[in-house]
Amino acid sequence: MLPLDKDLQKPKNSIKEFKEISLRVLNYFPNVISNSEEKGDYLILSSNQAGNLKYVRPINRRLFITEPETFSNSVELLNNVLLKIKNKEDVTDEEKLTIDKVVYTIQQSIGAGLDLLVNPNSARKHVGNRFEELIRVVFTEIGISNSKIVLQIPYETDEGTKTYKCENDLVISPYNEVKSTSQSLDEKEVVVSIKTTSKDRMGKMFIDKLLLERFVKHPQKVIGIFLNDVQRKEENNIGFTLVSGLFMVYTEFLTKLEGVYYLDPPPSALKSPYNVYISTFSELLTGKLNELLAS
pLDDT tens for residues 102-135? 999 999 999 999 999 999 888 999 999 999 999 9
Q: What is the pLDDT of residues 58-77, one digit of tens each?
A: 999 999 999 999 999 999 99
Full-model pTM: 0.95
Residue 129 and residue 173 in one domain:
no
Is residue 89 exposed (0-12), middle (13-18) or buried (19+ Cβ within 10 Å)? exposed
Same domain (yes/no): 165, 284: yes
Written as one string, the DSSP assignment of the chain is ---HHHHHTS---SHHHHHHHHHHHHHHHHHH--EEEEETTEEEEEEEETTEEEEPPPEETTT----HHHHHHHHHHHHHHHHHHHTT----HHHHHHHHHHHHHHHHHHHHHHHHHS-HHHHHHHHHHHHHHHHHHHHHHTT-EEEEEEEEEEEEETTEEEEEEEEEEEEEESSSS----SS---TTSEEEEEES--TTTHHHHHHHHHHHHHHHTS--EEEEEEEE-EEEETTTEEEE---HHHHHHHHHHT---S-EEEEE--GGGGSTTGGGTEEEHHHIIIIIHHHHHH-
**Residues 255 and 164 reside in one and the same domain:** yes
Asked if residue 111 and residue 47 are part of one domain, the reply reads yes
Count of domains for the chain: 2
Residue 39, CA distances (Å) to 66, 85, 112, 244 in order = 17, 35, 17, 22
Same domain, 288 and 151: yes
Listed residues 107, 141, 175: the one ending a domain? 141
Please say if the pLDDT value at position 292 is more than 90. yes
Q: Output the pLDDT for position 242.
A: 87
Residue 88 and residue 180 in one domain = no
Mean pLDDT of 173-189: 96
| 180 and 129 part of one domain | no
Same domain for 280 and 184? yes
Confidence of residue 244 (pLDDT cuts 50, 70, 90): confident
pLDDT at 233: 86
Domain match, 129 and 219 both: no
Q: Are residues 78 and 187 located together in one domain of the fold?
A: no
Q: Rounded to an integer, what distance in angstroms lies between the CA atom of residue 203 and that of residue 42?
A: 27
Residues 17-52 have pLDDT tens digits of: 999 999 999 999 999 999 999 999 999 999 998 788
Distance, in Å, from the CA atom of 25 to the CA atom of 222, rounded to the nearest integer, reads 34
* Residue 151, number of CB atoms within 10 A of its CB: 23
Beta strands 260-264; 237-240: pairing state: unpaired
Q: Summarize pLDDT for 202-241 with one digit per residue, the tens.
A: 888 999 999 999 999 999 999 999 999 999 987 788 999 8
Which residue type is seen at 115? Answer: D
Do 20 and 121 belong together in one domain?
yes
Check if the beta carbon of residue 100 is closer than 8 Å to that of residue 63: yes
Is residue 270 very low, low, confident or very high in pLDDT (cuts 50, 70, 90)?
confident
Domain extent, residue 279, equals: 145-294
Q: Is the same domain home to 172 and 238?
A: yes
- Boundary (domain end) residue, out of 106, 123, 141: 141
Q: Which of 141, 174, 198 is the last residue of a domain?
A: 141
The mean predicted confidence, pLDDT, of the chain is: 94
Q: How sure is the predictor about 295, in pLDDT bands with cuts at 50, 70 and 90?
A: confident
